Amino acid sequence: MSHPYVVVDAFSDRPLLGNPVAVIFEAGDLDAATMQRIAAELQLSETTFVDDTTTPGEVRVRIFTPVNELPLAGHPLIGTARAWLDRTGHPAARFVTKRGPVEARREAAGSCVMSVTQPAPFVADFDQQDVVLGALGITGTPTPITLYDAGARHLLVQLPTPDELLALVPDQRALAVLEDLAVNCFAVDGAGLMNRMFSPAYGVVEDAATGSACAPLALHAIEHGLLPGDEIVSICQGELLGKGCEMFVDVGAVAGGGAAILSGATAVVASGVLTV
């Protein structure tokens, strides 16, 4: 069958400067193995497959990297929100993911800014700090290396300054032994954060913008006194990749058991038909 698709750049309002995701529509006839092969063929950091459910306004979304399926991710859902809401003309939708329902909406009529809810991340056990330090070529960090589960699993490693972060040259082979996680190296940058994400385990050498890491990054920074806890946190990423991605996350409701809200601009880059 033929499947319409759209490529959306997430976290930039200018095409080719955001983090791309391919959104495959009418995907109900595709099995997981075929979805995985399509994602491997397209070689974007993520590809999503969407289809209506039997409930009006509800959309089933599956997310694949080139090598595996993710239960939840940030930039793919921001891009999928733009593609789906453009296609349907609706202002909002509920996305059903492997990690549960996510509320997606357009910030205002005609706006390119999308937002999605994210379940509160939780801290997971991690005992390979020495492996991480060796792979990154550093001897220590200002705050503890911490693993958060946010659907995707994100390890947070603070660098003292943005310059040191940008100068980092990780040993990708050494990082590849860390299964099922992404290593996010970050630094405080003015009133916000700068992030670089490396994940050989997810088939991504370096990601241009990692939306699912934003709530963990903001909560970690607030917990350790790096940022105040009463503001929406701005996180920039992708500079060394020639990208200009800026993500915004509001974690104000997380302490009370609510969801974080991730938002950012989007730009449609391409559209076509997948003949599979």
Q: Residue 167, exposed/middle/buried by CB under 10 A (0-12, 13-18, 19+)?
A: exposed
The Cα–Cα gap between 136 and 209 comes to 19
Tokens of 39: 């994602």
The Cα–Cα gap between 143 and 164 comes to 15
Q: List the end-to-end C-alpha distance of the chain, in Å, as a whole number.
A: 6
Q: Which of 173, 172, 211, 205 is closest to 70 using CA atoms?
A: 211
Residue 206 bears catalytic tag: no
Q: Are 18 and 266 in contact (CB under 8 A)?
A: yes
The number of helix segments (H) and strand segments (E) in the chain equals 6, 17
Query: Which one of the listed residues 26, 41, 46, 107 is annotated catalytic?
Result: 46
Query: Which residues are known catalytic residues?
Result: 46
